[in-house]
Chain A
Amino acid sequence: MSDRSLRGKTAVVGVGETTYYKRGGAPDAEFVLAIKAILAACEDAGIDPREVDGFSSYSNDRNDPSRISAALGIKELKFACMQWGGGGGGGSGAVANAASAVASGVADVVVVFRALAQGQFARFGQGPKMSAIAGDMAYSMPYGVMSPAQMFAMRCTRHLHETGITRDTYKAVSLATYAHAQNNPRAVMHGRPLTPEAYDNARWIVEPYQLYDCCMENDGAAALVIVSADRAKDLKKKPAYILGATSGSEYRNAAPSHNAPLYATSSFTSLAPRLYDMAKVGPKDVDVLQSYENFTGGVVMSIIEHGFCTHEEANSFMTTENFLAKGGKLPLNTSGGNLAECYMHGLELITEAVRQIRGESPNQVKDAKISMVTSGPMVTPVSNSIFGSRETL
């Protein structure tokens, strides 16, 4: 029997973040945000930051591990890893890479981090300003397909067309997420509840997305600390064991000019079975889900592709009530996520998944033992992860 699995070999033992800011609102440079989040995560773990010996990030984070190591006086750097491509689709992938390094003895204390200052650097929600474009984007950008919303809208349009799923499911995702943010003091949208009327009356960004179907643009940083399961036992916080984490995408997902054979997916159809296989759980065992919302339509697809309901069941299953931490069948994005906590490129979803296992969530799901994350729908590679409490090992 092969033992080539990450299941239970490592755990997240520390999580931390900066204050979350509106885009342009951070008083610090992006590098400082990264450092502050890393220090906060180490503090939470009770680990001396100088003991960190590896870093894992994604989406071409600008904050170089060697420079961070120098700044923090890290004793010895053993692992510096970047998940390629896919933007926020790399979040759980960065966890998988970090866990792989620790499980295989490549490094001992690996920090996963992401820092973003969209005020200091370019905004994600704006098109590029160059005068000419060559390569794959030459077939889309001149037609006004430039922003992430515009790049993914046609996948969702096709999905709604093929399945008969309605945009009420999008609304349910948005309303539940915003409701959760109202209990989370960290959330940028804390104190700014969203009503069904406000959702309906919001302007179109690009059909089929209205304003509240879209993630925010923010400044901030988040980090988490991963060590071996053995080491995790002696640390101060309840470990969130990594039961599984996978990344990738389907056959020719990146075929240029929107030629992916499986177009109307969130790119998870091949990953979901792999994740459940590794974690040795199924969708029925998952107590709480954090599902990356670049756009609500991608969440709807991710939920279906991970087997929480079928396309046929989606319209009746995906209601605000079912997505709420309090009494919902599938508590979703319980910190407020990318829509309403902070667009920390989805790393805030992973810190929240860990907090659910610890019992520290602002919208705690009672006795949560299996906590799952899907990172970055509709991009490639995407990734996903499952965390468990000690009794799930």
Chain B
Amino acid sequence: MSTSEFYLPEGLPAPAPAPDGLDKPYWEGVSVNKLIVQRCKGCKTYQWGPEWVCHKCHSFDIGWEEVAPKGVIYSWERAWHPVHPALKDHGPYIVVLVELPHAGNIRMIGNLLGDPKQDIKIGANVEAVFEHHTGSKMPYTLVHWRVTK
């Protein structure tokens, strides 16, 4: 699932791949609507955000694995006060912390699409929506979430 509408106005800091190359597979994945996260080749531990070493077994041989782009809402916040010029006059927006039970319960941050004043339920099922910013000098993709029935 992808969207061409932007949830937040442009002008916020854009994500850039780490200069050391650590998270390259993630950014390449989201650009083609795939959620790709770290999974240790040795002990099979899922890991997010990315690290150079497996926190469980200390292997440096960490693989990347595509996971189903879905999860459950673990926590949320609704921001009202604008702390960035790009958000001035924008109004409230929702941030969710999404847990991926099928990928070692790793968590990801994104925005929750839909009415910014909607009721939010911890535990609700959500699916990823890929928001492509292709017009930027350095194109990037954000991963948002939408409640599923």
Contacts and interface: CB of A to CB of B under 8 A. Distances in A.
Chain B binds chain A: yes
Interface of A: 125-147, 149-150, 153-155, 157-158, 161, 203-208, 252, 255-259, 263
Contacts of B77: 145, 150, 153-154, 157, 206-208
Contact of B85 (A129, A142, A258): A129
B17 interface: yes
Contacts of B48: 256-257, 259
A135 B18 contact: yes
Contacts of B15: 132-134, 138-139, 141-142
Interface string B10-34: 0011111111000100000000000
A158 B75 CA distance: 5
Contacts, number: 139
Interface string B122-138: 10000000000000001
Contacts of B76: 154, 157
5 contacts: A132-B16, A142-B13, A207-B79, A256-B49, A258-B107
A205 B49 contact: no
B9 to A, nearest CB: 10
A252 to B, nearest CB: 7
Contacts of A139: 15, 49, 108-109
Contact of A131 (B8, B13, B55): B13
B84 A126 contact: yes
B8 A143 contact: yes
Contact of A136 (B17, B49, B78, B95): B49
Given A126-B84, A161-B122, A155 B75 contact: yes
A205 B108 CA distance: 22
A144 B109 CA distance: 10
A132 B14 contact: yes
A126 B106 contact: no
Given A139-B109, A144-B95, A259-B107, A150 B79 contact: yes
Contacts of B97: 154, 158, 258
Given A126-B83, A126-B84, A158-B122, A142 B142 contact: yes
Interface in B101-149: 106-111, 122, 138, 140, 142, 144
A242 B8 CA distance: 49
A203 B138 CA distance: 37
A206 B80 contact: yes
Contacts of A149: 81, 83
A127 B83 contact: yes
Nearest to A136: B49
A204 B80 contact: yes
Contact of A138 (B16, B95, B122): B16
B133 to A, nearest CB: 9
A129 B122 contact: no
A125 to B, nearest CB: 7
Given A134-B18, A258-B107, 4 more contacts: A143-B95, A150-B77, A158-B97, A204-B81
